[in-house]
Homo-oligomer: A and B are copies of this chain.
């Protein structure tokens, strides 16, 4: 052994969880179309994930299918939804009231997954006092006074990149347990917080690399 760095080992099941959430969105779609039963080999065609892996992913969490038949669409949908935690309501605080936030708040993904935006904060006087979809925009300076981690489960951070780290620190201090941010930079994650990042430059890199 050369090193002894302790690292909060990146949650083992993440790959499975990501795939489950692909299955879930397809099941949403199939259910809407009225499809009753689906087999792993049919999912393979839709998702581009081998039938073996589909069955293995599901078997990780239980026995949801019927041999010789397949999986019941509405039932499997419920099961996966529950595994991912979407059976319960999630109260979300939006940090940053710019264009991105108003896109999010109108997105169907939020309702579909039981996420509800309960508070919005921004530091700009252009926004403070106004409201989006009936939710008043509060002053970022009052975050510690106005945000109570007992009433909010996670944060969506849509502030300019230089402010992300500080925002996360403040949220961590208040006791918010999870956050998602979009800036193209790494952050230090406070203890006891789960922080995820969606970085469009990463996807663009994959795209340009492949097209090069």
Contacts and interface: CB of A to CB of B under 8 A. Distances in A.
A38 interface: no
Interface stretch (A14-22, A68-76, A123-131): A14-22
A28 B22 CA distance: 33
Given A48-B7, A185-B29, A203 B196 contact: yes
Contacts of A21: 199, 201-202, 205-206
Nearest to A100: B103
Contacts of A209: 13, 17, 83-85
Interface in A16-72: 17-18, 20-22, 24-26, 29, 41, 44-48, 50-51
Nearest to A201: B109
A137 interface: no
A209 B15 CA distance: 12
A150 interface: no
Contacts of A48: 7, 10
A83 B98 CA distance: 34
Given A26-B186, A85-B209, A204 B14 contact: no
A100 B45 CA distance: 31
Contacts of A184: 25, 109, 112
Given A24-B205, A154-B207, 16 more contacts: A18-B205, A21-B201, A25-B186, A25-B199, A25-B201, A84-B205, A85-B205, A90-B208, A99-B99, A108-B161, A109-B200, A113-B204, A177-B211, A180-B203, A198-B198, A198-B203
14 contacts: A7-B48, A11-B206, A13-B209, A17-B205, A17-B206, A21-B201, A46-B186, A47-B186, A109-B200, A113-B201, A154-B208, A180-B200, A196-B203, A198-B200
